């Protein structure tokens, strides 16, 4: 009788350990999905800070202010998978900037080893060289070194209501991670974004 009982206990311990590890691996994707849902539907130039704060997520989000400008920032990464060498380090951040009581910028920023950074941002006015909404914008420094790519759109684009679909939060809990812009940010598929040197 003792041997079956010991086997059951050992299996129970392994099972509990597996559940805990799986939960820890899944946690970053779940957190990122909540962060994306929190900024979904915000409208630059129209959503007020008062309206922003009616969303429970923004009542606890990190907030920093300088005079009349405030920023709300969230961040999550795949620390466990990266520590176990099962995926490249991937980090996803969101920023909402408020100026004089109105939302002025909404940004999602993703970095992952092996790719230049990619961001998606809603702005009040598209850059002059944007011929579509959204449009792709390459982020460079004066010597033309590529720092990354950005997808820019105005509040007139319906993308602002589909942020969780435009960004793949599951990448943060995927073994081997996501290795292309199209995987990280499905919205980029039609915008010809390629990593530097490809």
Give per-residue pLDDT as tens, 111-127: 998 888 899 999 988 88
- Domain assignment present for residue 198? The answer is no
Instruction: Answer yes or no: is 47 within a domain.
Output: yes
Percent of the chain with pLDDT over 70: 81
Range of the domain at 58: 2-191
Long-range contacts of 46-51 (CB under 8 A, 24+ apart): 46/102, 46/103, 46/155, 47/102, 47/103, 48/101, 48/102, 48/103, 49/98, 49/101, 49/102, 49/103, 50/101
Residue 196 lies in a domain: no
Region 125-132: what's the mean pLDDT?
A: 83
In a domain, 197, yes or no: no
pLDDT band, very low/low/confident/very high, at 19 (cuts 50, 70, 90): low
User: Domain for residue 90, yes or no?
Assistant: yes
Total number of domains constituting the chain: 1
């Amino acid at each position: 009788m003792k041997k079956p009982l010991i086997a059951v206990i050992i299996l129970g311990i392994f099972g509990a350990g597996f559940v805990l590890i799986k939960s820890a691996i899944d946690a970053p994707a779940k957190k990122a999905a909540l962060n994306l849902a929190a900024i979904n539907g915000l409208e630059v130039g129209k959503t007020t800070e008062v309206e922003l704060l009616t969303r429970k997520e923004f009542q606890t989000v990190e907030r920093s202010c300088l005079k009349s400008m405030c920023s709300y920032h969230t961040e999550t990464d795949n620390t466990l998978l990266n520590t176990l060498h099962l995926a490249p380090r991937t980090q996803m951040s969101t920023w909402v900037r408020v100026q004089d009581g109105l939302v002025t910028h909404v940004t999602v920023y993703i970095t992952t080893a092996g790719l230049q950074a990619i961001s998606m941002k809603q702005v009040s006015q598209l850059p002059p060289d944007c011929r579509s909404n959204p449009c792709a914008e390459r982020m460079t420094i004066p010597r033309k070194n590529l720092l990354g790519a950005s997808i820019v759109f105005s509040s007139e684009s319906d993308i602002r209501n589909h942020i969780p679909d435009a960004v793949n939060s599951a990448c943060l809990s995927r073994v081997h991670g996501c290795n292309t812009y199209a995987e990280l940010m499905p919205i980029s598929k039609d915008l010809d974004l390629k990593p530097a040197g490809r």
